[in-house]
């Protein structure tokens, strides 16, 4: 039986939510990951030091004894340099959402004007704080990421010392752009590496596969798989695991977000193995993130066996019930207890 070992996997884009949902999902990440970059799109968003520290405390309580580093992010607004200087050691990045583009992003940026954004972005650049971006326009849903690419480009040019992370890229065009500027980097999710729009609505409508940015075409998926499995040093794994209650996914006006935290690594082992690129998986899930963000890996080692793993129909605690991607299906790789 084939075995794969990963050292200190990091999830560089994770939604842990709060309260009861946090208690359900946090242990499902902290069991297998060494740490994660935690998204700030709570209600209200995390945009002040006290709120951020308090949220981190709640996360630490929820993960229990697991050796897991919650790396906190701040919701992007115009901040003063003094404020950023004061909070710098508590955050790994500032996360920018275009206003209203996804879950709890109403307080995001309305207009991308490099002059207007300059005071905050120059301060971040000087303080070495990376900028993480949800890069979508409010245009036609399939074109939103591509329409946003000129914004990435103008930011990369205007702020050459600012590290800019293109979050959850989904298109071939984004794969091309990230390689064009030294200060652009990207995360890719497990779902964008495995799904196309056909999986979401080509047959029956699958609300648990609905997310922002929506999954794209075969050509796009192929470009994502190619760069991720190559171990390209600018590309990191970020699950964008985004749990919503089962009842909020299985209804009209279903919430966007795919829950993958407990199954993403097994999916990645399978994908890299199927592509004969297992030797690059360690880079994608850990080494590249360590280099880009300057992370110190802990000693966590996760062992995978080539053994069937049936994905649970749901994960549940108290009143909280969440359905994972590929619920009820069989993966070829399991995590050794």
> Is residue 240 flagged as an active site residue?
yes
Cα(38)–Cα(104) distance, integer angstroms: 14
**Token output for 281:** 């998986």
> Could you say which of Zn ion, ligand DOR, none residue 212 binds, taking C-beta under 5 to 8 angstroms by partner kind?
ligand DOR
Contact (Cβ atoms closer than 8 angstroms) between residue 255 and residue 103: yes
240 binding Zn ion? (CB under 5 A): yes
Stretch that binds Zn ion, among 22-30, 154-162, 232-240, 247-255 (CB under 5 A): 232-240
Stretch that binds Zn ion, among 26-34, 50-58, 77-85, 236-244 (CB under 5 A): 236-244
Residue 328: how many other CB atoms lie within 10 Å: 11
Stretch that binds Zn ion, among 143-151, 233-241, 299-307, 319-327 (CB under 5 A): 233-241
For ligand DOR, the closer of residues 41 and 280 by Cβ is 41
Query: Which phi and psi (to 5°) does residue 210 adopt?
Result: -90, 125
> Could you say which of Zn ion, ligand DOR, none residue 41 binds, taking C-beta under 5 to 8 angstroms by partner kind?
ligand DOR
The count of C-alpha atoms lying within 13 angstroms of the C-alpha of 24, restricted to the half-sphere facing its C-beta, is 22
C-alpha pair distances (Å), 147 with each of 137, 171, 249: 6, 11, 27
Report the interface residues with ligand DOR, using CB under 6 A: 15, 41, 102-103, 134, 211-212, 242, 256-257
Q: Nearest approach, Cβ of 75 to ligand DOR (angstroms)?
A: 12
- The residue annotated as part of the active site, out of 19, 89, 106, 240, is 240
For Zn ion, the closer of residues 27 and 243 by Cβ is 243
For ligand DOR, the closer of residues 102 and 229 by Cβ is 102
Residue 323: how many other CB atoms lie within 10 Å: 23
Cα(238)–Cα(130) distance, integer angstroms: 15
Query: Which phi and psi (to 5°) does residue 252 adopt?
Result: -65, 150
> Could you say which of ligand DOR, Zn ion, none residue 216 binds, taking C-beta under 5 to 8 angstroms by partner kind?
none
CA 103 to chain centre: 14
Q: Which residues bind Zn ion (CB under 5 A)?
A: 240
User: Which are the catalytic amino acids?
Assistant: 240
């Amino acid at each position: 039986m084939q075995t794969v070992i990963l050292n200190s996997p990091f999830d560089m884009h994770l939604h842990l939510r709060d309260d009861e949902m946090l208690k359900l999902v946090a242990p499902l990440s902290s069991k297998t990951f060494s740490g994660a970059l935690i998204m700030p799109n709570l209600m209200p968003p995390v945009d002040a030091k006290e709120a951020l520290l308090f949220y981190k405390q709640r996360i630490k309580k929820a993960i229990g004894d697991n050796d897991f580093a919650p790396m906190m992010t701040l919701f992007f607004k115009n901040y003063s340099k003094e404020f950023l200087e004061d909070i710098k050691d508590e955050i790994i990045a500032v996360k920018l959402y275009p206003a209203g583009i996804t879950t709890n992003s109403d307080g995001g940026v309305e207009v991308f004007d490099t002059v207007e954004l300059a005071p905050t972005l120059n301060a971040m650049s000087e303080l070495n704080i990376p900028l993480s971006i949800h890069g979508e326009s409010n245009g036609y849903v399939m074109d939103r990421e591509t329409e946003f690419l000129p914004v990435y480009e103008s930011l990369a040019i205007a702020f050459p010392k600012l590290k800019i992370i293109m979050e959850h890229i989904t298109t071939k065009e984004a794969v091309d752009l990230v390689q064009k500027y030294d200060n652009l980097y990207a995360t890719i999710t497990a779902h964008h590496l495995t799904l196309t729009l056909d999986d979401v609505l080509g047959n029956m409508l699958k609300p648990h596969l609905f997310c922002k940015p929506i999954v794209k075409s075969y050509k796009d998926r192929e470009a994502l798989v190619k760069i991720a499995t190559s171990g390209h040093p600018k590309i990191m794994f970020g699950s964008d695991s985004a749990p919503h209650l089962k009842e909020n996914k299985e209804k009209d006006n279903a919430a966007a977000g795919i829950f993958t935290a407990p199954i993403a690594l097994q999916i990645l082992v399978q994908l890299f193995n199927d592509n004969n690129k297992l030797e690059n998986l360690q880079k994608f899930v850990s080494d590249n993130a360590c280099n880009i963000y300057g992370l110190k890996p802990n000693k966590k080692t996760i062992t995978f066996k080539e053994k069937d793993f049936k994905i649970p129909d749901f994960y549940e605690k108290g009143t909280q019930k969440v359905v994972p991607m590929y619920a009820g299906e069989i993966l070829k790789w399991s995590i050794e207890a």
